[in-house]
Amino acid sequence: MIDRAVAGRVQPASTLLGPGDDAAVVRAADGRVVASTDMLVQGRHFRLDWSSPEQVGRKAVAQNGADIVSMGAWPTSFLVALGCPADTPVSVTDALTDGIWSEVAEFGAGVIGGDMVQSEQVVISITVLGDLGGHEPVLRSGARAGDQVAVAGRLGWSAAGLAALLAGSADFPELVGAHQVPTPPYRCGPAAARAGATAMTDISDGLVADLGHLSVASGVGVDLDANLLEPDAQLRSAATALGADAREWVFTGGEDHALAATFPAGAALPEGWRRIGVVRAGDGVHVDGRSWAGAGGWQSFS
């Protein structure tokens, strides 16, 4: 199984020793390495009747990669531990592996190691290593009163796609696709770091919830301008059809792995970023001056 997963795969130059020994060796030219890990469990973070194994593999890598770019770094290496029931068809593990490698290729990175074990549910645990390229990491704690608040990437699409799946609707394939495989704006992370972003995070729990984490870490408040966060036509159309609130998707939907960051007042925002509010003294996340009245965040679907 492990041989099937690594055979014929091309490692980047940063992989000094790939899979096959007791451990891998990767270059860390910067003298530092950025690292994060996420575990996805079948039935909780994904359903194999809603997503293909290839999509699950891509999503698992995407959410890990988003944690690295949101530090202003770039992923170089992934380690993948996979638990599967004994009766899992090889076609499923092959497709999962293909999905993992295809998203890893988006970064020009490599899968440098892993483990495969038997388990009752499919469990995918990924660790990603990243390179800061000589820059300081952009933390959640650096926002200062007066900074611009900006976002890059889609908001609410994954939540809308999940709502369509739950409703059994086949009318919104692009939204469903965004739930199956998020498309985080990877390059916007390092670009924000180069542009002087003072704080950054990826949006995994929802815009309000994740800006809440950033505001606590920075000891500031965040004022969002609802006019700058109007749901797009796709979301409005789906909300009408599904009897849902498109603004709720935008403000509380997670899993798109958009990026949120703060930039000094007056700084030009890099490509892909748009202004959505301002940092102020105080605490909490407000929308048009009021506390967000909807759901506070987003949880996995079971």
Residues 212-241 that bind a second copy (CB under 8 A): 217
Q: How far apart are the C-alpha atoms of 77 and 27, rounded to whole Å?
A: 10
- Closer residue to a second copy in complex, CB, 160/209: 209
286 is a site residue for a second copy (CB under 8 A): no
Among 28, 95, 105, 226, binds a second copy (CB under 8 A): 28
- Among 94-102, 116-124, 150-158, 163-171, the segment contacting a second copy (CB under 8 A): 116-124
Question: What is the H or E stretch that residue 291 is in?
Answer: strand 290-291
Minimum CB distance to a second copy, residue 38 (Å): 5
81 is a site residue for a second copy (CB under 8 A): yes
Size of the site for a second copy (CB under 8 A): 63
Q: How far apart are the C-alpha atoms of 256 and 250, rounded to whole Å?
A: 10
Residues 6+ apart with CB under 8 A from 102: 54, 57, 58
44 is a site residue for a second copy (CB under 8 A): yes
- Three-class SS of residue 225? coil
CB 238 within 8 A of CB 244: yes
User: What values do phi and psi take at 91, rounded to 5?
Assistant: -60, -35
Among 79, 151, 165, 197, binds a second copy (CB under 8 A): 79
3 is a site residue for a second copy (CB under 8 A): no
Q: Which sign does the torsion angle of CA 181, 182, 187, 190 carry?
A: negative
11 is a site residue for a second copy (CB under 8 A): no
206 is a site residue for a second copy (CB under 8 A): no
Among 118, 230, 264, 281, binds a second copy (CB under 8 A): 118
How are strands ordered across the β-sheet holding 110-118?
110-118, 74-84, 123-131
Is 223 annotated in a binding site? The answer is: no
Q: How far apart are the C-alpha atoms of 132 and 42, rounded to whole Å?
A: 32
Record the tokens describing residue 154, joined without a space: 């889609």
Annotated binding-site ranges for ATP? 114-115, 140, 204
Binding site for a second copy (CB under 8 A): 16-17, 20-41, 44-45, 66-68, 70-71, 73, 77, 79-83, 112-115, 117-121, 123, 125, 127-130, 132, 137, 139-141, 200-202, 217, 300
